[in-house]
Amino acid sequence: MKPALEVGHYIQPEIFEQEQARLFGRLWIFACLRTAIAAENAFATRRIGGRLVLIQNSGGRIRAFENSCPHRLMPLQTAAFGQARMVCPYHGWVFDSMGKVKSIPKEQSLYAFSQEERDALCLREYAVETLGELVFVNLGENPISITEQFAPSLIERLEAISSHFSDVAVHTEIPVRYNWKLNFENVLDHQHVPYVHPRTFLPLMRSVSEDKARESEPSQYPTPSDLLIDQSWASTSPIKIEPWPWHAQVDRYGPEGTYHNHFLFPNVNFISVDGLVFLIQQFEPVSASETRVIFTLCAARSRVRMPALPAILRGHLKGEVEVLMEDVHYLESLQAALHAHSPAVHHGQYEHRLVGFGQAYLRWMEAVKPC
């Protein structure tokens, strides 16, 4: 099958800049879990489409602002997560819940803004949508409806599954040296698992009976779709994990023995191991050849107090990072091997999702061709 993307899409800085504006500047991008900012003035910071974004709980409502004080453009917050009012640490400007300047120290004597200038002093606000516990931000001035990006059935599913999230999660950001699209394509391509993860991920799948495993494979592969809404989808497959006592103490999502997989275009893969552990992995572009892999992992909410929850989350995160690092080893080698004259890749029919991803990507990039 002919690939949609060319090598230049993975290595050219110009393409990266266009992606930032045309893809990440216009689509709904996952920002954080609502549980992570569930208290008054709790916040998260992200870099989306090259801009610093502050996601703030203001009076119970989640808002997103450019994380940049209108005075000297200093970021209001530098931590990834925290709890604080919106106050610029540089000169003490205070902002209200709507992002308007509330007070400025020694305003009259030092600044003497006109009323018109004063009225214009506010943080740039971005659109926010929450699907269950998943918070998305759109940087566009006239953002598309989130239902254009995610089908109602998928939204319903995300709302249902995320209602099982524990309020505490573990978060890490791992720098890797490859283009973000390689990682999204990698999670779309389950055929790499026996070769790259023979001792970590594969045994979970192998422990399921062959018949059940075969049921999850389609008999015929569909034609790739380049529609935006078709790039985000969910699947389930059988899995078998070792039982632990804490499993009986939590509110599991879905039937036992199920691996849930969600692909959220353009850069999120959200999985759940048996409805007990939930991992959102996001591939945040840093440059044409660098990505930040952001992991947010939580457990199913518990019916009793679980003092060992940090240990449980740490243990699962360690396992997930181990799997990622197996991919990283190969993907970094792949990225390093790419050059302007690399030949085109050859996709098989099973890679229809991967080809569709490339076609939809090009539509949103308005068929930008590499130089």
Partner 1 sequence: MLNADPRVLCLIGCGSVYEALIDDLFAYGLDPTKVLSHRFDRVADIAAQAELLLAQWSPQRHELFVAVDANALNHARLELYGRARLLGFRMQTLVHSSSIVGPRGKLADNVWIGPGAVIGPSCQIASNTLIGAGVRLDADVRIAAHGWIGPGTRIGRHARLGSHAVLGADVVLQEYTELGRHVLLEQSGPWHGVLDSGTFWEARARSEACMIGPGYTFERKAQS
Residues that bind partner 1 (CB under 8 A): 33, 35-39, 41-42, 79-83, 167-176, 245, 295-296, 307-308, 310-315, 317-318, 321
Closer to partner 1 by CB, 180 or 295: give it.
Answer: 295
- Grouping H, G, I as helix, E, B as strand and the rest as coil, residue 20 is helix
Cβ 168 to partner 1 shortest distance, Å? 4
Partners of 139 in the β-ladder = none
Of 81, 61, 75, nearest to 123 by C-alpha is: 75
HSE-up of residue 342 (Cα within 13 Å, Cβ side): 19
Cβ 173 to partner 1 shortest distance, Å? 6
- In the chain the first and final C-alpha atoms are separated, in Å, by 23
Closer to partner 1 by CB, 277 or 312: give it.
Answer: 312
Cβ 175 to partner 1 shortest distance, Å? 6
262, containing H or E segment: strand 258-264
How large is the C-alpha radius of gyration of the chain?
A: 22
Question: 42-47 contacts: CB < 8 A, separation 24 or more?
Answer: 42/81, 42/82, 42/83, 43/77, 43/81, 43/82, 43/83, 43/84, 44/80, 44/81, 45/75, 45/77, 45/78, 45/79, 45/80, 45/81, 46/137, 46/284, 47/284
Q: List C-alpha distances in Å: 342 to 27, 152, 351.
A: 30, 40, 20
Cβ 318 to partner 1 shortest distance, Å? 6
Closer to partner 1 by CB, 38 or 73: give it.
Answer: 38
Closer to partner 1 by CB, 121 or 299: give it.
Answer: 299
Cβ 46 to partner 1 shortest distance, Å? 13
Q: At what angle do helices 180-188 and 309-337 cross, to 10 degrees?
A: 110
Closer to partner 1 by CB, 177 or 190: give it.
Answer: 177
Cβ 55 to partner 1 shortest distance, Å? 12
Q: In what order do the strands lie in the sheet with 42-48?
A: 29-33, 134-138, 125-131, 61-66, 51-58, 42-48, 81-83
Cβ 182 to partner 1 shortest distance, Å? 17
Closer to partner 1 by CB, 189 or 332: give it.
Answer: 332
Closer to partner 1 by CB, 71 or 240: give it.
Answer: 240
